[in-house]
Amino acid sequence: MGAAARSGNQRGWLRKTGAVLATAVLLSSIGAAAATAAPKLRTPAGGYTELSVPSSMGPIKVQVQWAARGGSAAVYLLDGLRAPDDHSQWTSDTDALRQFAGDNVTLVFPVGGRSSFYTDWYRPSSTNHQPTTYKWETFLTEELPAYLARYGVSRTNDAIVGASMGGNAALILAAHHRDQFKFAGSFSGFVHPTFPLWNEAMRAAMVDEGNFNVDDMWGPVDDPAWSRNDATDQAELLRGLPIYLSTGNGRPGPLDLPYGFGNTVNAMVLEAMTLTSAQIFRDRIAELGIAARIDILDGTHTWPYWQQALAAARPMMLDVLGAY
């Protein structure tokens, strides 16, 4: 496909989704060396251990469910924009611990990082007196793997998945660190942040969640950091990597009912945005001849659907990692 055709396609997507993006800005939120020894710690089925891991950002809490039979493979699970500072929502809002309780793979749940997009920022956020600079890419690909290697967790045989904010981050981290991650999954991820006006939607959401300044993260929208952290722009780096991308179509279903009408409407709008970005990503990798599993299902931007997506990705991850 030529550059003119791609430009025409982007204008088409922009016309189709302009109203959705404008609404989303108004809503201004987003729902939500390898060691071979067996891990020295064990947790009961369905439980986890809490670690305090040193980093350039200070100690970072990490919740871990160790591999059932001492295996070295690991799955990193990233939260959404509103990541709590005391636990991973994967452990509280999904059955991830139960899903993998009998599997020979360690689950790694980094805690915190709200509005961080799990990336290395240029500087601390200037709008909320942030004391330190976010350096999440460094933490997830250098500091944390080195620490977990003490417990027999591999630094070269990992998978990474993320929901919402964490979805694009999972693909980007895998793209730039192929030596570490052998699988990547995005669940309702915003996988094309350089799409026109997307940066303004992100700006509004980050102000809403902690008064963070997007300019301190990647600079102005023409800064190369935006493209480097855009999974669609970096699709070529994903060639040959097993990928699972899941998104809803924005239509509410039974899983949305407990969340109430207002939250459901918000989740519908947000999922319409992730649907658009997923379709653009799908078209881009098809153009490049890159394979991926992409599921577009009924659903909105809520944790019950991400729990389902994790269950769908689980057998793929266990197979890729050899975690039997």
**Residues annotated as catalytic (active site), given as ranges:** 164, 271, 301
CA distance 292 to 244: 6
236 DSSP assignment? G
If you compute the radius of gyration of the chain from its CA atoms, what whole number of angstroms results? 19
For residue 267, give the nearest of 90, 23, 94 by alpha carbon.
23
How is the beta sheet containing 106-110 ordered, strand by strand? Answer: 49-53, 60-65, 106-110, 74-78, 158-163, 181-187, 243-248, 293-297
**Are residues 211 and 274 in contact, defined by beta-carbon separation less than 8 angstroms?**
no
What 3-state class would DSSP assign to 72? coil
Tokens at 74, concatenated = 């690991």
Residue 88 · residue 65 · CB < 8 Å: no
Give the angle subtended at the CA of 309 by the CAs of 308 and 315, to the nearest 5°. 100
The first and second tokens of residue 238, run together, are: 């994903």
Q: How distant is the alpha carbon of residue 180 from its chain centre?
A: 16
Burial category of 156 from C-beta neighbours within 10 Å (exposed 0-12, middle 13-18, buried 19 and up): middle
CB atoms within 10 A of CB 283: 15
- Three-state SS for 146? helix
According to DSSP, the residues that pair with 75 across neighbouring strands are 107, 159
Under 8 Å between Cβ of 43 and 176: no
Place of tokens 């799908």: 282
